[in-house]
Amino acid sequence: LAPGDVLYLPRGWLHSAVAQGAVSVHLTLGVHPWTRHALAAQLAETALATLREDPAMRASLPLGAEGPDGELEEVRARLVTALTTADPAPLFARTRRA
């Protein structure tokens, strides 16, 4: 590379910059794309925060239950409701700030 050149390293490429006999400045700019996974994580966080406010979700599971199926279905239904009713506007605002 000559002075003033720029080298682009794609995401995931490890590198180590070494000056070759002179003083050198190494400036790294990171670009973090918004991914569907990041949006899903924000959505899940919002849904879980909603569920924390639900007294039924904070209640202990019943003693002597014959199995988790009924409880699992109840939790799943409440989680799906929390996910589908989450306001998307704050999700995108939080993703932009991250």
pLDDT at res. 94: 62
CB atoms within 10 A of CB 82: 21
pLDDT at res. 60: 86
Ranges of residues in the chain whose predicted pLDDT is under 70: 64-67, 94-98
Distances (CA, A) of 48 to 32, 42, 86: 25, 10, 10
pLDDT at res. 57: 93
* pTM for the full predicted model: 0.60
Torsion over CA: 71, 77, 80, 84 (sign): negative
Domain ranges of the chain: 36-97
pLDDT at res. 92: 76
pLDDT at res. 7: 84
Phi and psi for 78 in degrees, rounded to 5?
-65, -40
Residue carrying the six token digits 């799943």:
76
**What crossing angle do the helices spanning 88-97 and 36-52 adopt, rounded to 10°?**
120
pLDDT at res. 67: 66
